[in-house]
Amino acid sequence: MRFLRGISPVGLLLALAVLYLVWHTLHPADFGRLDRHAASRPVTPRSDLGADEQNTIEVFKTASPSVVFITSIEVRRGLFSLNIYEIPQGTGSGFIWDKQGRIVTNFHVISDASRIEVTLADHSTWKAALIGAAPDRDLAVLQIAAPAEKLRPIMVGESENLQVGQKVFAIGNPFGLDQTLTTGVVSALGREIKSVTNRTIHNVIQTDAAINPGNSGGPLLDSAARLIGVNTAIYSPSGGSAGVGFAVPVHEINQAVPQIIRHGRLIRPGIGISAVSQQVVAELGLEGVLVLRAEPGSAAEKAGLRGTSQVRGGLILGDLIVAINGAPVADWNQLRDELEKHQAGETVTLTLLRDERQVEVQVTLEAF
C-alpha cells in the first residue's frame, strides 16, 4: 500500500470515484439487467380527427396540386474561359391560373431571370415564358407547355368581405422546400406596401401565417381552399417570418391577370401628361402634381392643360393638379391611384391651381 502514502483523503476519494466509473462503464449490465423480451409499446387509440384538422387537411389536398415551384436562372459568362453558365438566381412560388398553362407569381420572383423553370406538384419541370407583368402590383404571368391533364387551376375566391380573425392558409416553397403548408389568421386588412417600382399597393391583407423566402408568389387561401391573395412580402429585419406577412388581395389579381394575358401589361386610364419631379414641387413649396407637358393629341392637351416652361430668370409654372373629382392629390402616386378608380372613356373633373386661381377642368380619360 506504499502507493497510497502521501495521498490526501480527498485525493483518495476522487481516485476511488474514477475507478468506480471506469468499472461500471466496462460492465454496464451491473447498472440494470438486459431484457431480451422487450417489445414495442401498444398504440393508444384516439378518436377521429377534429373538424378543424380535417378542414386543414382538405384545404391542402384541394389546393396543393395548383401550387408550383418557380426557379429563376441567370446566365453568366465565365471571367477567364468566357463559357456561358446558368446559375440559379432565386426561387419562389406560384399557382396555376388556367388549363392553358398560365402561371401567376410575383414580379420580383422572376424580374432578374434569364430563364425560368416551373415545377408542378407532380415534380415535372417545364420551361416558362413571360407573358407579361404588372410591376406596380408585383404580379407576373408565365406560360408553360404542360398538357391540360397536368394542370389544375386554383379556385378563385373573394377578398372584399374578409374579416380579421378569419382562418387562412399559405402554400408555397419556403427555402426551396416544396409543398409546405402554414396556417394562421387574417391579422389586419387595408394595409399598404410598396412594390418594386415604389408604387403603393393598397388594401393588402396582413396575416400571421408563416411566410418565408420562397413563399413569394404563392397563394393565400381561405378555409374553402379558394384563392384570396398572393403572398408577396414579409416584414422582418432578419428576412425570416416574424408573424407579419402581406398578400395582394385576389380582386386585384382577378382584374390584372386577364389584362396581362391580353395585352402583356395593365391597361390604365390616364390623361397624357408628364409631370415635374416631386422634389422640385416640394422645393417650390407646393403640393400636388405640376404639369410639365401635355402630350400632343392627348386628353390633357384637348382639355387645355398648361405645361411648365423655363424662361430666362426662372420658370413659368404650368397647371398644378390638386384634386380629381374632389379627392385630394398630393403627388404622382396619388394621381395614378385616383385615376385607376376609373375606366378609360370616363370623364373626370380635375381641380387645378392656375395663375394662383383654382379652376376646374373636365378631362375624358384615355387608355395607356
Annotated catalytic residue within 136, 138, 208, 222:
138
Q: Tell me if residue 138 is catalytic.
A: yes
Location of C-alpha cell 388581395:
249
Which residue is catalytic, options 187, 195, 216, 298? 216
- Number of neighbours of residue 340 by Cβ within 10 angstroms: 16
User: 191: which 3 cell numbers?
Assistant: 394595409
Residues 6+ apart with CB under 8 A from 211: 170, 172, 174, 182, 231, 233, 234, 241, 245, 246
User: Any catalytic annotation for residue 309?
Assistant: no
- Of 178, 126, 152, 153, give the one whose Cα is nearest residue 257: 153
Best CA proximity match to 327, nearest among 317, 311, 314, 341: 341
Catalytic residue among 66, 72, 93, 108: 108
How far apart, in whole angstroms, are the C-alpha atoms of residue 309 and residue 296? 16
By C-alpha distance, which of 182, 162, 163 is closest to 231? 182
Of 356, 290, 297, the closest CA to residue 319 belongs to: 290
Instruction: State yes or no: is 263 an active-site residue.
Output: no
Host H or E run for residue 204: strand 200-207
The catalytic residues are 108, 138, 216
